[in-house]
Chains A and B, each alone.
Chain A
Amino acid sequence: GENVEQHPSTLSVQEGDSAVIKCTYSDSASNYFPWYKQELGKRPQLIIDIRSNVGEKKDQRIAVTLNKTAKHFSLHITETQPEDSAVYFCAAHNQGGKLIFGQGTELSVKP
Chain B
Amino acid sequence: SAVISQKPSRDICQRGTSLTIQCQVDSQVTMMFWYRQQPGQSLTLIATANQGSEATYESGFVIDKFPISRPNLTFSTLTVSNMSPEDSSIYLCSPITQGRGADTQYFGPGTRLTVL
Binding site for B on A (CB under 8 A): 32, 34, 42-46, 49, 89, 93, 97-104
CA distance A101 to B48 in the complex (A): 15
Top 9 A-B residue pairs of the complex, sorted by shortest distance between their CB atoms: A32-B103, A93-B103, A43-B107, A101-B42, A101-B43, A104-B42, A103-B42, A43-B109, A44-B107
Give which listed residue, A43, A97, A103, A104, contacts B92 with CB less than 8 A.
Answer: A43
27 A-B residue pairs with CB within 8 Å: A34-B104, A42-B109, A43-B107, A43-B109, A43-B110, A44-B43, A44-B92, A45-B107, A46-B104, A46-B105, A89-B42, A89-B43, A93-B103, A97-B31, A97-B102, A97-B103, A98-B33, A98-B45, A99-B45, A99-B105, A100-B45, A101-B43, A101-B44, A102-B42, A103-B42, A104-B41, A104-B42
Q: How far is the CB of A11 from chain B (nearest CB, A)?
A: 16
> Which residues of B11-50 are within 8 A (CB) of A?
31, 33, 41-45, 48
How many Å lie between the Cα of A60 and that of B105 in the bound state?
22
Other than the given A46-B104, A101-B43, A103-B42, 14 more pairs (CB < 8 A) read A34-B104, A43-B107, A44-B92, A44-B107, A89-B42, A89-B43, A93-B103, A98-B33, A98-B45, A99-B33, A99-B45, A99-B103, A103-B41, A104-B42
List residues of chain B with CB under 8 Å of any chain A CB.
31, 33, 41-45, 48, 92, 101-110
Q: Which of chain B's residues has its CB closest to A30's CB? A: B103
CA distance A42 to B92 in the complex (A): 11
**Please, which residue of chain A has its CB at the minimum distance from the CB of B6?**
A43
- Summarize A's interface: helix, strand, loop or mixed: strand
A106: nearest residue on chain B (CB-CB)? Answer: B40
Shortest beta-carbon distance from B107 to chain A in Å: 4
Query: Which residue from chain A places its CB closest to the CB of B106 in the assembled complex?
Result: A46
Return B96 CB to nearest CB of chain A, in Å.
Answer: 9
